[in-house]
Amino acid sequence: MNVKVAIVDDNSFLISAVKEKLSFFDDISIKHTSLNGSELLTKLEDNHNLDIILMDIEMPVLNGIETTQMVKQKYPHIKIIMLTAFDNDENIFNAIKAGADGYLLKEINPKDLYDGMHETLNGGAAMNPSIALKTLKLLRNPIDINNPRDHEEISLSKREVEVLEQLSKGLSYTVIAKNLILSPSTVRKHIENIYKKLQVHSKIEAVQKAKNHNII
Amino acid sequence: MNVKVAIVDDNSFLISAVKEKLSFFDDISIKHTSLNGSELLTKLEDNHNLDIILMDIEMPVLNGIETTQMVKQKYPHIKIIMLTAFDNDENIFNAIKAGADGYLLKEINPKDLYDGMHETLNGGAAMNPSIALKTLKLLRNPIDINNPRDHEEISLSKREVEVLEQLSKGLSYTVIAKNLILSPSTVRKHIENIYKKLQVHSKIEAVQKAKNHNII
DNA sequence: AAAGATATAAGGCAAATGTCGTATTCTATT
DNA sequence: AATAGAATACGACATTTGCCTTATATCTTT
């Protein structure tokens, strides 16, 4: 079975990189590539005999989200996998809303990309585990996309996120310490650091802010 | 690194099957198995030093969804992967809402199960492509699975709701008192009463419960 | 008018929390 | 090998919180 693919990315080097990755597999044939959405749309008008599109998000003229929406509107049979460097909640959420069939990151290795494409063609969705987790969180805690909240990047350590998670359940210092097999002192120190990073001064505020930023 | 695992399934034959699958990997150690949720809960009370739980959904006494919710409430550090035969939207949606970290089907092969567990431990979510697609659809088209939520009637007074609203912003007793032009004692009494009505014992729990019941 | 719920307020006590400072170990990354 | 960041841990302190009792005033509903 031959899989007809198109690649859309404003960075021609990255297009080459993807082509390279897929060159290992002889059932994949790259039909064409485009540097932005409108270029793709033009090509599709000519010939939309495609199985799957690998789509970047950040592009000039017509970005990946808008393009996905339009392609899905006109050619619903074409699967679209977002292939991008960014995995922030907004992008993921919007891509899914636009109708994307998968969401992968550019650093993906050839086999996973290949597998993901086939999974998508077989009626599944391709996404790596970290993206999957984000979709779960989005389902649990639908963020208000229309609220372009503080885009200040908050970077908590893995351990801090764990502690925050426990905090959000209303557990006390001592219980959290037991759960994570830590000294209560350590838990308190972690929380102290979390407060500083989030610039808050209480459990509730921390949990609230963390939820708003989809950290937990 | 040793991964401490528990398996919960009402079918002891299927427990054996899962054990068999995981026996190939020597960094996995099955700590214990249970035939239903309450059996697991009892064991966890004794020792909750676990990394991951593989949980069936359809079980007598206490099903996988309810169990997941309770385990996550008390021991948020334990990852839970649903391992079930059914993949209908309700189950998936409810499992995610309950806090599941992954959702796999029982016919999974050993390597994928193993990989999924490690992905989950590394901060991702384990799910096979068909489940992933369903979550995407749920995100696109939020089914209002009319939460047959505890219909236990919670009736807070108008004043109590006002106080709760302030509580949810992370304000302290004294600040709330000032905002509502009340004595701090009164605010504390209100909160005491709110706790009794909601059957909780802390600000966070109260806010959480109130949000779940659409009170605030 | 009586009864029952609601709102107001105080005092006290134990436990939990928020904020300091300090210090050791572990682990990536240069 | 050196350094930075993260994780671990303790002690001290003032404040806040959770829980209890008691008490008066107000407002509803029978």
Residues with CB under 7 A from strand C: A 172-174, 188-189, 191-192, 195, 201-203; B 155, 157-160, 182-186, 188-190, 202
Q: Are residues B178 and B84 in the same domain?
A: no
Last residue of a domain, one of B92, B109, B142: B142
Of the pLDDT bands very low, low, confident and very high (cuts 50, 70, 90), residue B2 is confident
**Whether B37 contacts B125, CB under 8 Å:** no
3-state secondary structure B165-177: HHHCCCCCHHHHH
pLDDT score of B67 = 96
In terms of phi and psi (left: phi > 0; alpha: psi -120 to 50; beta: otherwise), the region of A44 is alpha
Q: Structure tokens of A47?
A: 């010939």
Chain A partners within 8 Å of B203 (Cβ): 203-204
Q: What is the CATH number of the domain that holds B181?
A: 1.10.10.10
Interatomic CA–C1' length for residue B166 and nucleotide C8, angstroms: 18
**Whether B47 contacts B20, CB under 8 Å:** no
Contact flag B167-A203 (C-beta cutoff 8 Å)? no
Q: Which of B93, B102, B140 sits opposite A97 (nearest CB)?
A: B140
**Whether A66 contacts A42, CB under 8 Å:** no
**Whether B78 contacts B50, CB under 8 Å:** yes
Q: Are residues A102 and A173 in the same domain?
A: no
Interatomic CA–C1' length for residue B161 and nucleotide C1, angstroms: 32
- The CA distance from A10 to the nearest CA of chain B, in Å, is 26
The one-letter amino acid code at B190 reads H
Q: Are residues B133 and B155 in the same domain?
A: no
Share in percent of chain B as helix, strand, coil (round to 5): 50, 15, 35
Say how many residues make up chain A.
216
Last residue of a domain, one of B123, B142, B161: B142
Contact flag A132-B140 (C-beta cutoff 8 Å)? no
Q: Are residues A11 and A111 in the same domain?
A: yes
Residue pLDDT, tens place only, B22-36: 998 988 999 999 999
Q: Are residues B104 and B43 in the same domain?
A: yes
Q: Are residues B132 and B184 in the same domain?
A: no
With both helix axes pointing from N to C terminus, report the angle between B158-167 and B203-212 in degrees, rounded to the nearest 10: 120
Mean pLDDT by 10 residues, chain A (216 residues): 90 93 92 95 88 94 92 82 87 87 90 91 85 82 49 76 90 91 93 91 89 79
Q: What is the CATH number of the domain that holds A132?
A: 3.40.50.2300
Of the candidates B95, B98, B70, the residue with the CA atom closest to the CA atom of residue B83? B95
pLDDT score of B1 = 57
d(CA B74, CA A104): 33
Last residue of a domain, one of B142, B163, B188: B142
The one-letter amino acid code at B14 reads L
With both helix axes pointing from N to C terminus, report the angle between A203-212 and B203-212 in degrees, rounded to the nearest 10: 40
Q: Are residues A169 and A197 in the same domain?
A: yes
d(CA B97, CA A139): 8
Q: Are residues A125 and A184 in the same domain?
A: no
d(CA A175, CA A172): 5
**Whether A55 contacts A83, CB under 8 Å:** yes
Q: Structure tokens of B107?
A: 């016919």
d(CA B54, CA B82): 6
Of the candidates B40, B52, B124, B51, the residue with the CA atom closest to the CA atom of residue B83? B52
Enumerate the H helices of chain A as residue ranges. 12-22, 37-46, 64-74, 89-98, 110-121, 129-140, 158-168, 173-180, 184-198, 203-212
Contact flag B139-A136 (C-beta cutoff 8 Å)? no
Chain A partners within 8 Å of B136 (Cβ): 96, 100-101, 125, 135
The stretch B144-157 carries a mean pLDDT of 55
d(CA A167, CA B105): 31
**Whether B25 contacts B51, CB under 8 Å:** no
Q: Are residues A132 and A191 in the same domain?
A: no
d(CA B71, CA B208): 17
Contact flag A202-B93 (C-beta cutoff 8 Å)? no
Strand ranges across the sheet with A79-84: A28-34, A3-8, A52-55, A79-84, A102-105, A126-127
Q: Are residues A207 and A106 in the same domain?
A: no
Q: Which of A125, A140, A165 sits opposite B129 (nearest CB)?
A: A125
d(CA A43, CA A55): 14
Residue pLDDT, tens place only, B62-106: 999 999 999 998 898 899 999 998 888 788 888 988 999 999 999
pLDDT score of A145 = 47
With both helix axes pointing from N to C terminus, report the angle between B158-167 and B184-198 in degrees, rounded to the nearest 10: 100
Q: Are residues A137 and A175 in the same domain?
A: no
Lowest model confidence (mean pLDDT) among B70-79, B165-174, B183-192? B165-174
**Whether B113 contacts B21, CB under 8 Å:** yes
- Which residue in chain A is spatially nearest to B94 when comparing CA positions? A140
**Whether A167 contacts A190, CB under 8 Å:** no
d(CA B115, CA B28): 12
pLDDT score of A209 = 86
pLDDT score of B145 = 43
* Residue B143 confidence (pLDDT) above 70: no
Name the pairing type of β-strands B52-55 and A79-84.
Answer: unpaired
Of the candidates A56, A116, A62, A114, the residue with the CA atom closest to the CA atom of residue A86? A56
Residue holding tokens 């610039």?
A: A199
Query: What is the three-class DSSP state of B53?
Result: strand
* Residue B147 confidence (pLDDT) above 50: no
Q: Which helix (H) or strand (E) holds B22?
A: helix B12-22
pLDDT score of B148 = 41
Q: Which of A96, A162, A165 sits opposite B140 (nearest CB)?
A: A96
**Whether A187 contacts A165, CB under 8 Å:** no
Which residues span the domain enclosing A161? 148-212
Interatomic CA–C1' length for residue B7 and nucleotide D14, angstroms: 47
pLDDT score of B162 = 82
Domain count within chain A: 2
Q: Are residues B65 and B82 in the same domain?
A: yes
pLDDT score of A99 = 86
